[in-house]
Amino acid sequence: MRITAVEAYPVVEPVMTPYSWRDGLPSSPDEYQITWLRIATDEDLDGYTYIDRGAIAVDLIERCLRPLLMGQDPLKKELLWHLVWELDRIEELPIYVLGAADTALWDITAKAAGLPLHVLLGGCRDAVPAYASTATFATTEEFLEVADQCLEFGFKAIKLHAWGNKRRDADLCQALRAHVGPEIDLMYDGSAGFDPYEALYVGRACEEAGYRWYEEPLREFSISAYRGLCDALDIPVLAAETVDGCHYTAGEFVLAGAADMLRTGVDFRGVTGSLRVAHLADCFQMSAEVHGGGLPNLHLAAALRNNTYYEAMVLSNPIQVEPGIDPHGRIRPPDEPGIGFPVDLNSLRAGISPLRAYPV
């Protein structure tokens, strides 16, 4: 099989309900710029994925990925992931582009095999528990209101993205635990909003409140700061979400004792890079928690034994929940061959985006 076309389709989607992240980070845009990547072959099998960016993704697909991939065998993901890695040395690709071609190639491979991607990847479970991953709401009261809606919907786990203020965030973490009781899994994501001393303060609050994990309190450039945090806290520190260098850098976090769990996920690594991180983590009996929603991540979450949850964004109040999450807070990946994006090429060419599986 040979690759015969590498195409970029930019689409624009409205943001139905604007939302915020922590203080200091930009809020949601007015509209999403998304680029769909199509890789076509001489055997009539197409692979798809999308990148959450517009013009920059189109440029990198057309100027860099197309000449690299044309004529190649699409089943050779190990080779082609490495060729993109070599391209990265020259181009310094944004991490959201690093694994995009790889994900589309896995879509082709799974279609060629006649298997849904999660089965091809190893197949661990048919349904994955999802956690409600919040945007940043205005007040503690609003967070508790949203939490009530999430539990009523059926979620058994909630992750906070809060304000990035150590006292407010620590108080919120404890208020939420008091509100939902001991049985609900809670996680906290700092979105890199703290310095090491603030990170310790919030981490202790999450630890006392029995949170499952403490995620990315610091920018992920200081491995020594993360090691200090891991040494000082008993709660598992989840790190290496946004690092350049994929599994190579994740390995340095493990070696230094700077993470207790690793972030993985196709958005920043492709499927091949995600598997490498997950297997690296498994070598040390660590979990590899899949970052972000969407169908490729859902397949990955279902395929990995050492992943706990699927991340389902809950960005609005009243809550809107992505299609497919059942009343027990679980979600099943599609069982058709490939990733299962409902792509209609003519609609895509007309600028109409297929469903990415989460509300916008």
Contact positions toward Mg ion, by CB under 5 A?
189
Closest distance between Mg ion and the C-beta of residue 70, in Å?
35
Nearer to Mg ion by Cβ, of 22 and 38: the residue is 22
What is the strand order of the sheet 31-41 is part of? 3-14, 31-41, 47-51
Residue 179 three-state SS: helix
- DSSP reduced 3-state for 262: strand
Residue 133: CB minimum distance to Mg ion, A: 8
List strand residue ranges (DSSP E) for the chain, in order. 3-14, 31-41, 47-51, 128-134, 157-161, 185-189, 213-215, 237-239, 261-264, 288-290, 310-314, 330-331
Is residue 51 within 8 A of residue 166, CB to CB? The reply is no
Q: Which residue has the tokens 């190990």?
A: 78
Nearest to Mg ion of 102, 189 (CB atom): 189
8 A C-beta contact, residue 264 and residue 277: yes
Work out how close the CB of 129 gets to Mg ion at its nearest, in angstroms, rounded to a whole number.
18
Smallest gap from residue 83 Cβ to Mg ion (A): 29
Q: How far apart are CA 357 and CA 331, in angstroms?
A: 11
Closer residue to Mg ion (CB): 217 or 251: 217
- Of 358, 359, 240, 217, the residue nearest 289 (C-alpha): 240
Residue nearest to Mg ion (CB): 189
- Least CB distance to Mg ion at residue 32 (A): 19
